Amino acid sequence: MTQRNWSDLAPRMASGVAMVLIGLALIWVGGNWFRISLALISGGMVWELARMIAPENKMMPLQMGGIAALCLALALYLPGGLALPFLLAPSMVGISLVPHRRTMFLTFCAMILLSGYGMVRLRDDQGIIWLGWLVAVVVVTDIAGYFAGRMIGGPKFWPRVSPKKTWSGTIAGWIAAAVVGIIFGIWTGEGIQMAGISVALSMASQMGDMAESAAKRRVGVKDSSNLIPGHGGLLDRFDGMLGASLMLLITGPWTGLFFIVG
């Protein structure tokens, strides 16, 4: 085990603790604070996405980030059916404004807005406990993967895209998520099925992480931005949450947790 393997631990821990505290405060308060914060964070992620794709264009990323934040904010204050067009509108606008890699942009842009919308609906409709469960699954997946990958090592998961990701870290994330699911299932009375749902969300969060890594690899950047010390940008930090939230949004009617229109 080399010092290099742990060189990013201190800034990651400091930034991670700060983000967790801020995130918990916003989730606890909920309401307008949570909605507007999610809209701004989502707009920031769309800005990073457009900036990665077209770094030579200074205005377009700001325009797309602003449009995304505004559309999500509008969607969050409209009835479900009327909200849906606003969640996809920034992707459609991007087809004209983004000069190249439009498919990458519209896919990730839609994912960002849909995920942000799903998180707010989960908080509003089901309460703080269920959103806390979603966040806990993503966080323990990341933490378990980080430490298991560096302590155990072993075969790489997808070395061409993410050289540091290992199978040991990936599986450790599933196990940690299952533990969270079991605890939550006992606490809420939902039973052992919460372990399976939690593992599926863990996998979705890892897919979001790998998808963002593949996108960065394709455009030739290491981080989506340098906004967060030790973590890179908003996309680098919340890519797993995007995947898990989108998975829960899609499967909501199946699990009975929440509905996008209701």
pLDDT at residue 257 tops 80: no
pLDDT at 249: 84
Q: What is the mean pLDDT of residues 153-172?
A: 85
CB 137 within 8 A of CB 146: no
Q: What is the mean pLDDT of residues 143-166?
A: 84
pLDDT at residue 254 tops 50: no
What is the value of pTM for the model shown? Answer: 0.87
Query: Which pLDDT tens digit goes with each residue over 60-99?
Result: 999 999 999 999 999 999 987 899 999 999 999 999 999 9
Boundaries of domain holding 162: 3-255
- Is there a domain that residue 131 lies in? yes
Query: Is residue 43 helix, strand or coil?
Result: helix
The CA distance from 237 to 23, in Å, is 12
pLDDT at residue 184 tops 90: yes
Opening angle at CA 235, ends 113 and 4, nearest 5: 165
CB 22 within 8 A of CB 41: no
- Is there a domain that residue 261 lies in? no
Query: Which pLDDT tens digit goes with each residue over 18-68?
Result: 777 888 899 899 899 999 999 999 999 999 999 999 988 989 999 999 999
How many independent structural domains does the chain possess? 1
pLDDT at residue 259 tops 80: no
pLDDT at 1: 42
- Is there a domain that residue 141 lies in? yes
